[in-house]
Each structure stands twice: as structure tokens, then as C-alpha cells.
A and B are shown apart, each in its own frame.
Chain A
Amino acid sequence: MNFAATLGLALPIGIGLAAIGSGIGLGFMGRGAMEAMGRQPEALPKIQVAMIIGFGFIEALTIYAFVTMFFLQGKIG
């Protein structure tokens, strides 16, 4: 198996794995935020801000995979 073929197989799988991880993380995060919002609706803006920041951190992981794919895509040939 040559380098290009390995890359061509690995890049989409890598993105998928990163997306799975991020999805699980986002799910936990969203659940926590929703429960907190339901319990304390008056703290809604603060929870939302913290949630969005957290979303940014989690989402960044998939984006890293995406950027990596984008950098290596040219080498598939």
C-alpha cells in the first residue's frame, strides 16, 4: 500500500473519528447546559456564553482534523 492510498483512506476516516468525538463532547456539553438552563432560567445568558465558549473549544478539534486534511489533501495525488 503506497503513501497516497494510505492517505486517501486515512484522511476521511480521521475526520469521521474527530467528528464522532466532537459530537459526543458537544452532546454532553449541550445536555449540561440545557439542564442548567432549565434549572435556573435566570442565569440563561451566563450559561449560554459559557456554553458557546465550550462549543468553540470542542468544535475546534474537528476543525483541526479538517485543516489537517486540507493540508494533506494535495498529497493524495
Chain B
Amino acid sequence: MSWLFAFALAALLLPSRPAIALSLAAGQLIMGLNFFFLEKLVKLFTHGGASSKGARRSVLPGRFFGIAALKLAPVYGGAFALIRTRSVLPAAFAAGLSIPLLTIVLKSILLAFGSGPSSWTRRATSTTAISGNAVKLAAFFFLIPLFAAILVMPGAAGAQTPGQPPHAAAQAAAPAHSESHEEGLPNWVVILNDYFPSSPVVHWMYENQYLVFGWIAGVAFLGFVSFAMRKPTMVPGQLQNALEWIIESMEDVCGGMLGKHLDRYFPYIMAVFFYILTANLIGIIPGFKSSTSTLDVTLALALITFAYVQFSGIRNLGLLGYIDHLAGSPRDVVGFAMLPVMVPVHVLGELVKPVSLSCRLFGNIFGEDTLIVVFVGVAALCLKASLVALAVPPMAGITALFMLLQTLTAIVQALIFSLLTTVYLYMMLPHESHESHEAHGHGDVAAAPHHGP
């Protein structure tokens, strides 16, 4: 996975900063070679030890030195040559080197906490899996905002990203055109920035508000889960019951579509669901902001989902099967004749998925936020004109009403995002199981639209 991630990163950076991207890719490649040879070496030792034949022993040193020399030459030689000739940027190169290491560290942490791929689904009976889930979720929660920040970086150099309103309201000396822009309600980061304008930490938080609030959402949810699941029992308490109800009903819905593949994909689906849900709900609290109300975060989520769906498609169908799926599975003459039309249509259909996912989430959450901002703004205008009786009671009522609506939107959007992820994954699965289900007349496969937007 780390390869995919790093290459996606490099490809993202490629248009704006080619030097950094190339250095990243180079570091990545060298670390990959390093691990490849390291794996060979370790396998040599363990296999030799396992078989423990005398004849094998004598072969071992020769092979060992051969592979070691092979490893040393391109890996360290290549790295030094690259750095010496100054053809790479050191920082980006180091980042490229560290991404696989980071992945391995994360993976070992997950393994240390004893979490398997299906640990989400056995939470009630096996209590040890809970902490592993927490770590997995934590890794996910912290990666998403980071990824979003990377997406922001190329845009921030040029024009201002549309997802970031200029926050002119917070600054006293705002330019005159600020009235016509959308202004977010001042959250506590903005207020903090007003009081401590010189502190670099506060300034960094002000610049990366969505990152901060994304982290807050993650920490809040993790805190909630670890609190609710601190002593999981067979007869669940209130909070545990609520969580288990959510997870079990999602399990029913997703299991109807994914069938026996559920265990593999369910952790990802639930991680997405809970992250979006928490991030959405946090925006309702005054002084906080939904990290999903910027296109950067939702695009990061949608791109990760897109990469995951395509990756699982290749893994499930095989490369040839995947290409066959993209070509619309031609089986007869008409199918092959339609090939030049069907391939672009299918490829476009795949590419539109992340756009529609991210725009839907962003538009809904941002729209709700804007609605509340507008009504609060009207109330503020009335207050300024000292029309207190007109301002406060009806506006408070309307705002409360829309906050109720916002809660509904938050839940529904999280549900839609994760269900669409499920549908996309389902469309990438081999369809034999689905057809056999129908042939047996079970009909327990939930109706899933075959044609996405």
C-alpha cells in the first residue's frame, strides 16, 4: 500500500514541483530495493535454518555475499551517488526513504496490538481486538488530514483554494469586499489567533484549521470509543449498545452486498463512516468546524476510496479481469465491436466516482454550514440595528431548526459515503457469487445500482 500512496503523492506533486516529486520517487525506489534484498537475505537465513541440511550450509555464504553485494551496490551506492551529484532534493529524498519505513512501523504497531483484518467484526466476544481497532482507526484518522494538507499545498502556492474562505470576519482591518464572501463563523482557533497573533503554534493552527479540526474529530471519536468500550461485556451497557447497534446494522447492510468478502472490507468502510460522521457532527458545536466542509479533506477521502476500490478490483479480478471489467466484459461480436465506445465510457465512469463522492459530501456539509452562517449573520445585522426582539427569538429558533437538519445531513452523508464505497467495492467483485445467489433463489442480495453516476 505504501507504494501506491507514495506514487500517488509523487504524481500529485509532479505538475507543480517536479524536482520534489522525482526525489520522492527516487527515495521510494531505493528503499524498495533495500527491502527487497533484505527480504531475500532474511529468507536465505530462515530457510537454511529450517531445513538445516549440511549441503545447504555450504552454499549459504556464497549466496549471502552475492546478494549482499547486489544489495550494497545499487542501494547504498545509488543513494550516495544521487546525493553526491545533487540531482535530488535531500528533504524530499529522505521523505521518500521514510515512507516505507513508516508503513512498516505502523504495520508492526497494528500487529503488536493483535488486530487482524476482521477484528472489527468480532468486537463483542473477543475483547483484545478493541485496542487494535483503536490503533487502526487512529492511523486512519491522522493520515486523512495529513493527506488533505498535502493536497492543499500545491494550491496554496498559487490562487487561494476555494475550500478555504478568507476568514476576513475575524480580522479587524478586513478589506471592504469581505461582505460579499462566505465567512465561516469564528471558531476557537480564529479567536485564539486574535488573542495570540504572534505565537507560531497558534498561527500554524490558524493556517491549517481543517487539519486541526480533522485531528480533533479523530481524537474525539477515539476517546468516545475507548470510553464506551473500556469494559466490553456480553450484555452491553448503553454506549456499547449504541456502538454495537451502529456497527451491526452497517454489517447487515454491507454484508448483503459484499457477502463473504465482508470481513476484508468492513474495517475500511466503518473507518470512513465514523470519521465522516464525527467530522460532520463536530461542526454543529459552536466554535468548532467540520473538517469535511472543505473540498480538500473530502477529495482526500474520495481519492483514498478510489485507489482502494481500483486496487481491490485488480486484486479480486486479476489484471486481465480488471481490464475486461473496464471494457464492459465483451463476450460476443457485438461486444467487441462496441469496444472503442465502451472503454472510454467505463474509464470515465470510474474517474467520475471520486469527483461525485467528494463534491457531494463537501457540498452538503458546506451548504448546511453556510445556511447557519447566513442566519446568524441576519441575526447579527438585526442586533446591530438594535432590533433585539426581532433578532433573537425567531433567529435562534430557525438556527436551531437548521442545526437539527444539519444533524440529519451529517448522519445521512456519512451513511451515503460509506454505502457508496460498499457499492463501488461490490461492483469490483467477481460476480459469480452474486449470480449463484440469484440462481438459488435466495434473493438476499440487497438491490445495488449497477450503474453509478
For residue B235, give the distance in angstroms from its CB to the closest CB of chain A. Answer: 25
A55, B412: Cα distance in complex, Å: 10
Asked whether, in the complex, the Cβ of A57 is within 8 Å of the Cβ of B449, the reply is yes
Assess A45 versus B362: contact at CB under 8 Å? Given A50-B448, A60-B453, A66-B367: no
Asked whether, in the complex, the Cβ of B364 is within 8 Å of the Cβ of A52, the reply is no
Assess A45 versus B416: contact at CB under 8 Å? Given A64-B359, A66-B363: no
Asked whether, in the complex, the Cβ of B359 is within 8 Å of the Cβ of A63, the reply is yes
Asked whether, in the complex, the Cβ of A50 is within 8 Å of the Cβ of B446, the reply is yes
For residue B162, give the distance in angstroms from its CB to the closest CB of chain A. Answer: 6
For residue B393, give the distance in angstroms from its CB to the closest CB of chain A. Answer: 30
**Chain B residues within 8 Å of A56, by CB:** 360, 416, 419-420
Q: Which residues of chain A from 8 to 62 have any CB-CB distance to chain B below 8 Å in the complex? A: 45-46, 49-50, 52-57, 59-60
Assess A71 versus B360: contact at CB under 8 Å? Given A50-B446, A56-B416, A57-B449: no
Q: Which residue of B is nearest A47, CB measured?
A: B447
For residue A62, give the distance in angstroms from its CB to the closest CB of chain B. Answer: 8
Partner of B360, one of A49, A52, A63, A70: A63
The number of residues on chain B lying at the interface, defined by a beta carbon within 8 Å of a beta carbon of chain A, is 25
**Chain B residues within 8 Å of A45, by CB:** 249, 252-253
**Chain A residues within 8 Å of B420, by CB:** 53, 56
Asked whether, in the complex, the Cβ of A49 is within 8 Å of the Cβ of B359, the reply is no
Q: Which residue of B is nearest A71, CB measured?
A: B162
Asked whether, in the complex, the Cβ of B359 is within 8 Å of the Cβ of A46, the reply is no
Asked whether, in the complex, the Cβ of B448 is within 8 Å of the Cβ of A46, the reply is no
For residue A43, give the distance in angstroms from its CB to the closest CB of chain B. Answer: 10
For residue A1, give the distance in angstroms from its CB to the closest CB of chain B. Answer: 21
Asked whether, in the complex, the Cβ of A67 is within 8 Å of the Cβ of B362, the reply is yes
Asked whether, in the complex, the Cβ of B360 is within 8 Å of the Cβ of A59, the reply is yes
Asked whether, in the complex, the Cβ of A53 is within 8 Å of the Cβ of B449, the reply is yes
Is B48 an interface position by the 8 A CB rule?
no
**Chain B residues within 8 Å of A67, by CB:** 359, 362-363
A74, B180: Cα distance in complex, Å: 9
For residue A11, give the distance in angstroms from its CB to the closest CB of chain B. Answer: 14
For residue A21, give the distance in angstroms from its CB to the closest CB of chain B. Answer: 14
**Chain B residues within 8 Å of A53, by CB:** 416, 419-420, 423, 448-449
**Chain B residues within 8 Å of A71, by CB:** 162
Asked whether, in the complex, the Cβ of A46 is within 8 Å of the Cβ of B447, the reply is yes
Partner of A63, one of B256, B364, B415, B446: B364
**Chain B residues within 8 Å of A64, by CB:** 356, 359, 363
Q: Which residue of A is nearest B357, CB measured?
A: A60
For residue B354, give the distance in angstroms from its CB to the closest CB of chain A. Answer: 13
Asked whether, in the complex, the Cβ of A49 is within 8 Å of the Cβ of B446, the reply is yes
Of B249, B256, B447, chain A has the most CB atoms within 10 Å of the CB of B447
Asked whether, in the complex, the Cβ of B363 is within 8 Å of the Cβ of A63, the reply is yes
Asked whether, in the complex, the Cβ of A70 is within 8 Å of the Cβ of B162, the reply is yes
Partner of B415, one of A52, A57, A74: A52
**Chain B residues within 8 Å of A49, by CB:** 253, 256, 419, 446
Chain B positions near chain A (C-beta within 8 angstroms): 162, 249, 252-253, 256, 356, 359-360, 362-364, 366-367, 412, 415-416, 419-420, 423, 446-449, 452-453
Known contacts A49-B256, A63-B364; 19 further A-B pairs (Cβ under 8 A): A45-B253, A46-B447, A49-B419, A50-B446, A50-B449, A52-B412, A52-B419, A53-B420, A55-B412, A55-B416, A60-B360, A63-B359, A63-B363, A64-B356, A66-B363, A66-B367, A67-B359, A67-B362, A71-B162
